[in-house]
């Protein structure tokens, strides 16, 4: 569809290699228009969704586009024709989309990616090492939260935080308590967090908003992995990440590739911290496309 739209506008079909960057660019444009117009585009498309579902779907669509943005930007930057025009145009649209969606996770992911691009342009390898350290902190965070995060009754009295932030803190505290009280070594089992919403019921915040104690999933990938797979599974995940990080840092990446990798890792770091569900296949598909896109560009560059 992206290639067809571009072909109609330019009156010439684009090269096949442009399918990913064009798809990401058009997705950002369409999703941004939908978010800015109050989900008008989604309301035109049947079937009708429950209240709030259109906003969530558009926000998740932007998340997928943000994950696939680094290889798209890198490809545009490498193209001599588009480099003379506006290779950062998709980035500008992404910023507008992040603001229009009103979702803190998308805004944080956008700014994390931009920060990685800016800092990485000066010290790309150092930026990759710094992001590796940040990922280490993210996967150490469940244990830090288990030790320091206030209990749920205390969190319910907090009024100084946005409801969305407070809700996540309550979810994390609840799931971590269940993990500590249950099978800490082997975990509760695959997809076990998905059963908690109905099982645990709802609570009322200080603001008066009623929320489920756990909403669908923990909205934090490390917390989810720890609860579902226990210390044994969590340790295996960390071992895999350490091996991947060592392999990544051992490669003398070209500057532009290192910046793109840093951008991708920064964006994903935000989403695994506050949004991602391990069992959402579409997120892994977007991440796979992004990784393979970067790999294809690296191979093409020799």
- Does 176 map to a domain? yes
29 in a domain, yes or no?
Answer: yes
CA dihedral 275, 276, 282, 287 (to 10 degrees): 110
- The closest of 145, 31, 13, 73 to 293, measured between CA atoms, is 73
- For residues 191-195, average pLDDT: 95
Range of the domain at 128: 123-280
Residue 39 lies in a domain: yes
Tell me, yes or no, whether 8 and 78 share the same domain. Answer: yes
Q: Do both 273 and 127 map to the same domain?
A: yes
pLDDT at position 8 is 40
Residues 203 and 238 in one domain: yes
Instruction: Indicate whether 114 belongs to any domain.
Output: no
Q: What pLDDT digit, counting tens, does each position of 23-81 carry? A: 888 888 889 999 888 888 888 877 777 766 788 888 999 999 999 999 988 888 776 65
User: Is 170 part of any domain?
Assistant: yes
Q: Per-residue pLDDT tens for 273-300?
A: 999 999 999 999 999 999 998 998 888 7
Domain endpoint, select from 42, 72, 102: 102
Are 252 and 133 found together in one domain? yes
Burial of 254 (0-12, 13-18, 19+ CB in 10 A): middle
pLDDT band at 90 (very low <50, low <70, confident <90, very high): confident
Does 258 share its domain with 169?
yes
Q: How confident is the model at residue 88 (pLDDT cuts 50, 70, 90)?
A: low
Is residue 296 one of the residues assigned to a domain? no
For 207-235, what is the mean pLDDT?
95
Same domain? 140 vs 276: yes
Across 12-21, 22-31, 193-202, the highest mean pLDDT is recorded for 193-202
Question: Model's pTM, two decimal places?
Answer: 0.91
Residues 130 and 98 in one domain: no
30 and 173 share one domain: no
- Asked if 76 and 183 sit in the same domain, the reply is no
Same domain membership, residue 72 and residue 145:
no
Residues 104-142 have pLDDT tens digits of: 899 999 999 999 999 999 999 999 999 999 999 999 999
* Residue of higher predicted confidence among 5 and 252: 252
- What is the domain count for the chain? 2
Residue 196, pLDDT score:
95
Q: Check whether 9 has a pLDDT greater than 50.
A: no
- Looking at residue 93, what is its pLDDT? 78
Please check whether residues 258 and 140 belong to one and the same domain. yes
More confident residue, 54 or 230: 230
Q: Are residues 95 and 162 in the same domain?
A: no
């Amino acid at each position: 569809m992206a290639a067809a739209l571009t072909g109609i506008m330019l009156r010439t079909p684009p090269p096949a290699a442009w399918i990913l960057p064009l798809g990401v660019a058009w997705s950002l444009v369409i999703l941004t228009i939908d978010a800015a117009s109050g989900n008008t585009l989604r309301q035109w498309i049947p079937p009708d969704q429950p209240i709030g579902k259109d906003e969530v779907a558009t926000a998740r669509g932007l998340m997928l586009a943000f994950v696939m943005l680094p290889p798209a930007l890198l490809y545009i930057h490498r193209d001599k024709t588009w480099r003379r025009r506006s290779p950062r145009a998709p980035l500008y649209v992404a910023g507008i989309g992040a603001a229009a969606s009103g979702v803190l996770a998308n805004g944080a992911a956008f700014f994390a990616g931009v920060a990685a691009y800016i800092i990485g342009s000066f010290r790309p390898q150092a930026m990759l090492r710094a992001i590796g350290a940040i990922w280490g902190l993210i996967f150490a965070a469940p244990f830090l939260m288990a030790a320091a995060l206030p209990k749920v009754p205390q969190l319910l009295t907090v009024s100084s935080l946005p409801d969305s932030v407070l809700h996540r803190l309550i979810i994390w505290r609840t799931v971590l308590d269940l993990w500590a009280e249950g099978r800490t070594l082997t975990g509760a089992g695959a997809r076990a967090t998905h059963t908690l919403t109905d099982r645990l019921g709802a609570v009322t915040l200080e603001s008066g908003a009623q929320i489920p104690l756990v909403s669908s999933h923990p909205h934090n990938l490390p917390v989810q992995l720890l609860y579902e797979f226990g210390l044994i599974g969590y340790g295996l995940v960390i071992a895999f990440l350490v091996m991947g990080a060592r392999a990544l840092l051992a490669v003398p990446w070209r500057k532009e590739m290192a910046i793109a990798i840093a951008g991708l890792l920064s964006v994903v770091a935000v989403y695994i911290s506050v949004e991602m569900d391990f069992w959402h296949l579409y997120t892994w598909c977007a991440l796979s496309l992004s990784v393979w896109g970067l790999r294809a560009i690296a191979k093409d560059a020799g």
